[in-house]
Structure 1
Amino acid sequence: MREDILHFIWKYKKLQLGNLKSSNNEAIQILDVGSHNLLSGPDFFNAKIQIDEQLWAGTVEMHIKSSDWYAHNHETDPNYQNVILHVVWEDDCDVFRKDNTVIPTLVLRDYIPSSLLQEYQKLFYHKERSLINCGNEIGHTSDFVLQNWLEVLYFERLERKTDLVTKLLKDSNNDWERVFFVLLSKNFGLKINSEPFFEIAKRLPFPLVRKIQDNTLQMESLLYGFAGFLDDDIIGDNYYDSLKKEFTFLKAKFHFLDLPHQKPEFFKLRPSNFPTIRLSQLANLYVLHHNLFSRVINAKSVEEIYLVFKVSASEYWNNHYTFGKVSKKHVKILTRKFVDLLIVNTVLPIKLSYAKHMGRDVPDEIINIISGIISESNTVISKFKSLKLQFPSAKESQAVIQLYNEYCTKNKCLQCAVGHQLLNRKP
């Protein structure tokens, strides 16, 4: 037995309300269950309860056993001094306020339908459990319930991605273009080079980026220089020599420091994801669009965004993956799959954050864009597909990642719409 089932029963009034009695035989009438508190403090605020002839307003606290009140040291916490009802599964001792009056106790186990408890036990006590608690049932969930819940989950995940935007805005004095550049750089690095690219972008003097956006060579030299790729001597590579010379010139002219840094990795990466290629693509993107931030913010469809990111690395990289080593000719364009990742992790979080900042409502626009991107393919998605779920777009796959990480793995079934439906089904 877990406390969350007590919260569920109370919040959704799943108990038999007709003839409630406290453990001291006081008549209890629930007028308002109150607001569920998911932070520290009593479990429900602003409840209204009539106990015998007295109307009470205050907080409600829940425990498996009454004695948990003392195990959690609530008797010394002033936040619990206006608890009007103690809701428990098992009443094993009286609980007293500071003035030595007993807090009325309601024993829930006496007032819940046996069918609800059976469904709860089936949910949490499978002998042969699949990926998640409801693995055998989730595929049969009402399509209406599931689709609405997945949309909620998608926006939960998107909101979490905006946390970094908020922090970067604070650090940059609300410079939206710089924030977009830093976030975009971070995600150009993918998983392995995310942090090095992030640090490079934060250290770069962004006014200089704006100043040299017309010059591909200068843009690349700035990125490669801050990445530590221009510290070597490569004989016979004229392009490398030009970049190195340009970076030396920029340092002398604009007086910025080239501080120690974490150098981007090549190990375990496919050549198309080498940091040399990604930094060139990023540089060329900013040379191509001097108004990149506004282009992205004003894009209304995924196809418009694809056009914005239609860019390739510089010509030198057509037959190189690293400096000084010639390879088979291949134009290094940004693939649609890579751009999809940029949209999910950069474009949509910045769009949502900016819309909130401007007081605009953009959920429909965001749903339109994310629904036009194909679903990711990873271990979690593959396992959920085996449970007979469909993933027509990245909206569903992002939502399921949020579901798995924040609900399934944490056994938060009673905060999940699927869990609610399973507990409410008829025996």
Structure 2
Amino acid sequence: MKEDFLHYVWQYKKFDFSNLVTVSGELLTIAYCGHYLKQSGPDFFNAQIILDDQKWAGNIEMHVKSSDWYLHQHEKDFNYDNVILHVVWEHDMPVFRKDNTEIPVLELKHYVSEESLRSYQSLMIPKTWIYCESQLRSVDAFVMQHWKERLFVERLERKSVSIQRLLEQMQYDWEAVLFCLMAKNFGLNTNGDLFLKMAESIPFSVLRKERFEVENLEALFLGQLHLLVAEAEDVYARDLNRRYAYLCQKHQLQAVPYETAQFFRHRPDNFPTIRLAQLAMLYHRQDHLFANITAAKTREEFYDLFDVSVSEYWQNHYQFDQVSLKKQKCLSKSFIDLLICNTIVPLQFAYAKSLGKEVAEATFALMQTIAPEKNSIIEKFATFGVKAKNAFETQSLLQLKNEYCHQRQCLQCAIGIQLLKS
């Protein structure tokens, strides 16, 4: 038994509340169950009850056992001073207020039907992947669609928190925030955190000054991550070394503490040298990138905005001093789609939120035009009958798995609640 089942039973009135009696024998009538609070403090706020003939208004706290009140040290927390009813599954000891009056207790297990309890136990039996995997196909399509919309917004809300922290770190310079997020996503999963450190190590004012020469940006990006070759044979590589030494002295820069950028198991087009060269060309070509991104609405506009390749040297190199077949190495549409999902849409959402605006319908429409992402979580959902048709749905399913299924928050999930109700 878990507390979230008690919350579910109370919130949705899945118990017999016609003839309630407290453990001390008082007749109990529930006038209003209260507002469910998903935060610290009592579980239900501003409830109204009648004990015998006396009406009470206040908060309700729930536990599996009465003794959990003391286990959680609520007697020391003033937030619980206004608790008028203690709802428990099993009553094992009395609980007292600070003035030594006993808090009324309702032992809920006597009023919940066997059917509701069996439904809960059936849902919570561990499966091979998630609890409701064998029932997902039976979930109402309307419920599923609306829950996906909620999950998508929740995922953006979660990402906006880290963007807000980064904004404060960057002195509220949205262009600098965009550069950090862009760098992280250019690094993909393996080098993303390292690329972010590189971006944070270079004041964006330096990029504004040096963006007119792409070689200066390459020198900065590669040099900060120790990817320049000290004894290079190529003239271009030696030139980047000289430029980096000069720029470090000019702008008083310090390289990121040494950490090896990963080449292993990457396709050559995803080598960190190539991704940094593409990032350098993007910022060389695009002035006021943040303004352009916030103004763009369609996938085609973003494809035009990110239509960049690499400088001439990198067209026939993947690493220094190693000549390869010539290739433009443009940003692919699939890579731009990843940027839209993981950088642009979260940034647009956070920016709109900072202005007090609602997320535009255009954001939902944009995500629905992008092909679904491919990863193990999305593939697993598909095997249980939930197939994502676009990136909007894949982002929603990732939020579902990470924040609900993985955390076993079935009774906070619209799918779990619908399954219990049915």
Same fold (TM over 0.5): yes
User: Within the alignment, does 1:140 sit opposite 2:138 as a pair?
Assistant: yes
Which one is further off, 305-314 or 29-38?
29-38
> Any idea what SS the aligned residue of 1:198 has?
helix
Match for residue 14 of structure 1? 14
CA contact (8 A) 1:130 1:136 kept: no
For 1:40, the aligned partner's letter is: S
Match for residue 317 of structure 2? 320
The Cα of 1:259 is off from its aligned counterpart by: 5.7
User: Within the alignment, does 1:79 sit opposite 2:79 as a pair?
Assistant: yes
Q: CA RMSD in A?
A: 1.7
Match for residue 367 of structure 1? 364
For 1:225, the aligned partner's letter is: G
Which of 339, 354, 358 aligns to 1:357? It is: 354
CA displacement, residues 386-417 of structure 1 (integer Å, 9 cap, x when unaligned): 00112100111111111111111221110000
CA 1:114–1:280: 2 relative to 1, 3 Å: same
5 Å-filtered alignment, 1:65-214, equals 65-125=65-125, 129-214=127-212
User: Within the alignment, does 1:296 sit opposite 2:293 as a pair?
Assistant: yes
> Any idea what SS the aligned residue of 1:135 has?
coil
CA–CA separation in structure 2 for the residues paired with 1:334 and 1:272: 9
CA 1:310–1:259: 2 relative to 1, 3 Å: closer
Which of 381, 384, 398 aligns to 1:384? It is: 381
The Cα of 1:184 is off from its aligned counterpart by: 0.6
Which one is further off, 282-291 or 156-165?
156-165
The Cα of 1:229 is off from its aligned counterpart by: 2.1
The Cα of 1:307 is off from its aligned counterpart by: 1.4
The percentage of counterpart residues that share the same residue type is 45
The runs of at least 4 consecutive aligned structure 1 residues that moved more than 4 Å come to none
User: Within the alignment, does 1:240 sit opposite 2:203 as a pair?
Assistant: no
CA–CA separation in structure 2 for the residues paired with 1:359 and 1:37: 24
> Any idea what SS the aligned residue of 1:390 has?
coil
The Cα of 1:255 is off from its aligned counterpart by: 4.1
Match for residue 305 of structure 2? 308
Which of 217, 224, 236 aligns to 1:226? It is: 224
For 2:360, the aligned partner's letter is: P
Match for residue 273 of structure 2? 276
CA–CA separation in structure 2 for the residues paired with 1:54 and 1:342: 61
For 2:421, the aligned partner's letter is: N
> Any idea what SS the aligned residue of 1:39 has?
coil
CA displacement, residues 156-181 of structure 1 (integer Å, 9 cap, x when unaligned): 11211122210111112110101111
The Cα of 1:420 is off from its aligned counterpart by: 0.8
Ranges in structure 2 where 5+ consecutive residues have no aligned partner: none
> Any idea what SS the aligned residue of 1:191 has?
helix
Query: If the length of structure 1 is used for normalisation, what is the TM-score?
Result: 0.94
For 2:10, the aligned partner's letter is: W
User: Within the alignment, does 1:264 sit opposite 2:242 as a pair?
Assistant: no
CA–CA separation in structure 1 for the residues paired with 2:252 and 2:387: 55
CA–CA separation in structure 2 for the residues paired with 1:251 and 1:94: 69
CA displacement, residues 51-79 of structure 1 (integer Å, 9 cap, x when unaligned): 12212122211112223223333334333
For 1:251, the aligned partner's letter is: C
Which of 402, 407, 410 aligns to 1:410? It is: 407
Query: If the length of structure 2 is used for normalisation, what is the TM-score?
Result: 0.95
The Cα of 1:314 is off from its aligned counterpart by: 1.4
For 1:409, the aligned partner's letter is: H
For 2:99, the aligned partner's letter is: D
CA contact (8 A) 1:371 1:394 kept: yes
User: Within the alignment, does 1:331 sit opposite 2:328 as a pair?
Assistant: yes
CA–CA separation in structure 2 for the residues paired with 1:136 and 1:260: 49
CA contact (8 A) 2:124 2:131 kept: yes
For 1:218, the aligned partner's letter is: N
The Cα of 1:304 is off from its aligned counterpart by: 1.1
CA contact (8 A) 2:230 2:241 kept: no
CA displacement, residues 335-381 of structure 1 (integer Å, 9 cap, x when unaligned): 12211211111101110111112233233121011111111111111
Which one is further off, 36-45 or 310-319?
36-45
CA contact (8 A) 1:161 1:345 kept: no
5 Å-filtered alignment, 1:52-67, equals 52-67=52-67
The Cα of 1:262 is off from its aligned counterpart by: 2.8
CA–CA separation in structure 2 for the residues paired with 1:75 and 1:252: 61
> Any idea what SS the aligned residue of 1:217 has?
helix
Which one is further off, 89-98 or 208-217?
89-98
The Cα of 1:263 is off from its aligned counterpart by: 4.2
CA contact (8 A) 1:67 1:92 kept: yes
> Any idea what SS the aligned residue of 1:240 has?
helix
CA contact (8 A) 2:308 2:331 kept: yes
For 2:87, the aligned partner's letter is: V
CA contact (8 A) 2:315 2:327 kept: yes
CA contact (8 A) 2:278 2:310 kept: yes
For 2:315, the aligned partner's letter is: N
